[in-house]
Amino acid sequence: MAQYDVVVIGAGAAGMMCAIEAGKRGRSVLVLERNTKAGEKIRISGGGRCNFTNAGASIKNYLSANPKFAISALSRYTQHDFIALVETHHIAWHEKKLGQLFCDESAKQILDMLFAEMDLAGVHLRTGVEIGNVEARGAQFIVKVLDETIVCQSLVVACGGKSIPKMGASGLGYKLAEQFGVRVTKTVPALVPLTFDPGLLEQTKSLSGVAVDVQVNCGKTKFKEAMLFTHRGLSGPAILQISSYWRPGDVLEIDMAPDIDVSSFLRQARVQNGKQDLVTALADLLPRRLAHLIAGDQNGRLGDFGDKVLAEVVMRVTRWRVKPIGTEGYRTAEVTLGGVDTRDIDARTLEAKSVQNLYFIGEVVDVTGWLGGYNFQWAWSSGWSAGQVV
């Protein structure tokens, strides 16, 4: 029978951060990971360069049934604190638009940093481990791993949500929460491509692979980034962002030329060169394949079109209304929306209110960030916060 002060289930960003902080305090810590390698989501993130945080991260960039829940953790361990850690390890990084921070070289640098910090803190890491029965016995937790029994004083659940099951996602964290009487809110895929019905796919099939900068609106929420047409529907940063707010039945309104007065542009083009085709004019604003779809059967010389026709074309460009039928699901979702109910978790320590020394951190909690490094920052912040007390 092995005995530790702290057992962390899940060697992702939150789990490793928590283990590091607990180890620094002199606690004996064991991290158990189902995958054969730790930090797989870190490794593949940001196109292999790890979008490890966002320079502008704040509470407004997160969704939760309790919008204020994440304030404590995010304010106590900020993006600036994590950047300082990165720089301590001499990892070069750069900032892209919208504040996303990436490694200049490889996501492996962030992983190596975390492994080095765990080593310094005396943390034990075991990978390729399937968690069996977990139970509370008196003031301790009993964790079964194959034929082995592990005993600990504090148990930290950091095994993520349901997104990208091929990376080991299993929903175990939610099962453990429910087992110990901690509520779990409804979960859905988030930061995920949206899908079309067969009729709409037939109309847009020629656009697969076409990207365009857009502003996409869903209700009162809007994002201005790139959109990508796919063979299933829509993807790209703008769509992934809005997917966290979209619900079945919602209609999206998309402006495919958000920085241009399309009406004035087309009127001026008609005056200057009325003999050019509508598609040719639109192709100065949009990818040509998209221009063909927008023009439809109205393609012809600009000079032959009156203001009413041009107004209809402007509407198609700037207020394209589309109703997706669903998402691509957890298979391609970057994160899970919803999770362990924040009403049952202490915002400062991440401890379950009804079960002493049981903690939930990272994606398993009902806190979901926008695309762009925000979810990593929640992982670092929640892991650090729990690490101060476990």
- pLDDT tens by residue, 6-27: 999 999 999 999 999 999 999 9
Contact 103, 48 (CB under 8 A): no
The hierarchical CATH code for the domain 2-188+334-387 is 3.50.50.60
65-71: list long-range contacts, CB under 8 Å, 24+ apart. Answer: 65/185, 65/338, 65/341, 65/342, 65/343, 65/366, 66/342, 66/343, 66/366, 69/342, 69/345, 69/347, 69/366, 69/367, 70/347, 70/367, 70/378, 70/381, 70/382, 71/347
Q: Can you give the pLDDT at residue 89?
A: 98
Contact 42, 107 (CB under 8 A): yes
How far apart CA 299 and CA 279 sit, in angstroms, is: 6
3-state secondary structure the chain: CEEEEEEEECCCHHHHHHHHHHHHCCCCEEEECCCCCCCHHHHHHHHHCCEEEECCCCHHHEECCCCCCCHHHHHHCCHHHHHHHHHHCCCCEEECHHHEEEECCCCHHHHHHHHHHHHHCCCEEECCCCEEEEEEECCEEEEEECCEEEEEEEEEECCCCCCCHHHCCCCHHHHHHHHCCCCECCCEEECCCEECCHHHHHHHHHHCCCEEEEEEEECCEEEEEEEEECCCEEECHHHHHHHCCCCCCCCEEEECCCCCCHHHHHHHHHHHCCCCEHHHHHCCCCCHHHHHHHHHHHCCEHHHCCHHHHHHHHHHHHCEEECCCEECCCCCCCEEECCECHHHECCCCCEECCCCCEEECHHHECCEECCCCHHHHHHHHHHHHHHCCC
Q: What is the pLDDT of residues 355-389, one digit of tens each?
A: 999 999 999 999 999 999 999 999 999 999 999 99
Q: Can you give the pLDDT at residue 188?
A: 97
With a CB cutoff of 8 Å and minimum separation 6, the contacts of 371 are 191, 237, 240, 241, 334
238, HSE (Cβ side, Cα atoms, 13 Å):
23
How far apart CA 290 and CA 112 sit, in angstroms, is: 44
Q: Can you give the pLDDT at residue 112?
A: 98
Distance from the Cα of residue 24 to its chain's centroid = 29
Nearest alpha carbon to residue 276 among 310, 311, 303 = 303
Contact 38, 111 (CB under 8 A): yes
Q: Can you give the pLDDT at residue 146?
A: 85
Please state the domain extents for the chain.
Answer: 2-188+334-387, 194-327
Domain 194-327 is of which CATH architecture? Beta Barrel (2.40)
Q: Can you give the pLDDT at residue 304?
A: 92
Residue type, 219: G
Nearest alpha carbon to residue 256 among 328, 201, 314, 332 = 314
Q: Can you give the pLDDT at residue 296?
A: 86
Q: Can you give the pLDDT at residue 170?
A: 85
Residue ranges in the chain whose pLDDT is less than 70: none
Q: Can you give the pLDDT at residue 169?
A: 82
What value does the CA radius of gyration of the chain take, rounded to a whole number of Å?
A: 24
Q: What tokens does 381 get?
A: 């912040």
How far apart CA 118 and CA 128 sit, in angstroms, is: 18
How far apart CA 151 and CA 36 sit, in angstroms, is: 22
pTM, two decimal places: 0.95
Q: Can you give the pLDDT at residue 166?
A: 81
Whose tokens are 């921070």? That residue is 101
